[in-house]
Amino acid sequence: MRINRRTFLRSSAAAGTSLAITSKAAEGLLAQGATDRPGSGGGTSSNAAAPIPASIQALKPMTAGIVPITNDERRARIEKARRLMTENHIDAVILEGGSSLFYFTGVRWGLSERPFIAVLPAKGEMAWVSPAFEEERARELIEIGGKDLRTWEEDASPYQRVAQILKDRGVTTGRLGIEERMRFFIVNGVKQAAPAIDMVSANPVTAGCRMIKSPAEIALMQRANDQTIAAYKAGLATLREGMTQGDLRNNILAAYRALGAQNGVVAVSFGKFTAFPHGSITPQKLREGDVVQIDDGCQVDGYQSDITRTVVFGKPTQRQIDVWNLEHRAQAAAFAAAKPGVPCEAVDAAARKVITDAGFGPDYKVPGLPHRTGHGIGLDGHEWTNFVRGNKTAIQPGMCFSDEPMIAIYGEFGLRLEDCLYITESGPKFFSQPSPSIDRPFA
């Protein structure tokens, strides 16, 4: 699994990381968050001892009734993966720690230089390769996918173990699917241990399964979205003149904790820096008339939310109202276009047309919409597939996406409204209701 803004934040916080940074740019990163989305990190607070705001104190946990994915559902996923392997002439797929391994097996395993690998053959029992000293922990974690666990000592090769499993399953030639986030040194090691096997993308299998969410997955994502809206409501109620990004971020994170949400992350931008799609490293303080943008989400049983709300602190100008309303129409146009059977690129085209017809752009030029209209979402905040030009993939029931066209006007402000949706047989449905107006961020 790649390191993104969320995984970096979680790992850094867990490790109690402390950094000594002297450059101006690095100081900005420390103040606003050392991630690829600067305002999402460990922002400084203007008053670290400030009392918890009343809007956050009033929150109650939103964890009752959460139903995790069952082992029976994971077994059904494995069988679907095998069908897709057969259809795509793939003899086996290998996985390491990350969202796909968790998706199929429920096993969470952190990445290190020591490979921990699952081998899923099209035919035959699944098998595992683990460092020998981790065997007991591995056996604790493995509930489905077979008990064939091969271990390797520190001076041995884990890749020979993988090659032997493939041989034992009758795979000495043919095609081995590589999960897209698997690290190169593992792929290279397996290739050297099994040179007669062709390495191919496992995307037809992994993305083929993961793109279509079950009702259980959608229910978990719905709860994550509900928690995020509740945290944002409480956080935006704390806006005050002179507060820093870190102040607002810390308030929203406190709201997530009060709600019982897992792994909450939020990116915060004020004023002209809201035009930066993923924030700026420049420290910011809130002033009357500033545009305020908050983005990101939390997890429920690993499933993600991703919501952006953009408001104005104080009375908005007519310019801010007009651009906000245009953004609102673009988001609505994307939603209306997201029907089963329609190619994904048509959704991007619908939102982009609204914005370019108003004189912005064209294409990805700014002022205008500088990025795709939406991305897939599930166990990863960004996963297959995307609302982007050139993507001919037909929209299908069970797919989940963000709907987030943006209007970026550098030197002035940026406006992005983001809500995620899922596709039903009759059309799209939002997980969170879009903002009704610039002064009403919540429906």
pLDDT one-digit tens code per residue, 79-104? 999 999 999 999 999 999 999 999 99
Task: Return left, alpha or beta for 393; rule: phi > 0 is left, psi -120 to 50 is alpha, else beta.
Answer: beta
Which residues make beta-bridge pairs with 291? 312
| Structure confidence at residue 326 as a pLDDT band (50, 70, 90) | very high
Nearest to 133 by CA among 157, 164, 154: 154
d(CA 344, CA 338): 8
Q: Tokens 């509900």 sit at which residue?
A: 226
Q: Residue 182 has what DSSP assignment? A: -
Above 50 in pLDDT, residue 10? no
**265: which strand partners?**
297
Q: Residue 180, class by beta-carbon neighbours within 10 Å (0-12 exposed, 13-18 middle, 19+ buried)?
A: middle
Residue 49's pLDDT band (cuts 50, 70, 90): low
> Which is higher by pLDDT, 25 or 129?
129
Q: Are strands 262-270 and 197-201 parallel, antiparallel or unpaired?
A: unpaired
| CA gap 109, 99 in Å, rounded | 10
How many residues belong to the chain?
443
pLDDT score at 146:
87
Rounded mean pLDDT, 221-250: 98
CB-based contacts of 268: which residues, under 8 Å, 6+ apart?
Answer: 32, 39, 40, 43, 245, 246, 248, 249, 252, 279, 292, 293, 294
CA-derived radius of gyration, the chain: 23
Closest CA to 431 of 278, 298, 262, 251: 298
State pLDDT tens for residues 333-361.
999 999 999 999 999 999 999 999 999 99
For tokens 């970026």, the residue is: 408
CATH class of domain segment(s) 5-64+213-430: alpha beta
**160-204: per-residue pLDDT in tens?**
999 999 999 999 999 999 999 999 999 999 999 999 999 999 999
Residues 6+ apart with CB under 8 A from 82: 120, 122, 123
- Would you state the structure tokens that stand for residue 36, as one six-digit string? 């690829």
Neighbouring CB atoms inside 10 A of 394's CB total 12
Strand partners, 266: 296
Instruction: Indicate the fold that domain 71-210 takes in CATH.
Output: Creatine Amidinohydrolase; Chain A, domain 1 (3.40.350)
SS3 263: strand
Domain boundaries, the chain: 5-64+213-430, 71-210
Q: How distant is the alpha carbon of residue 78 from its chain centre? A: 23
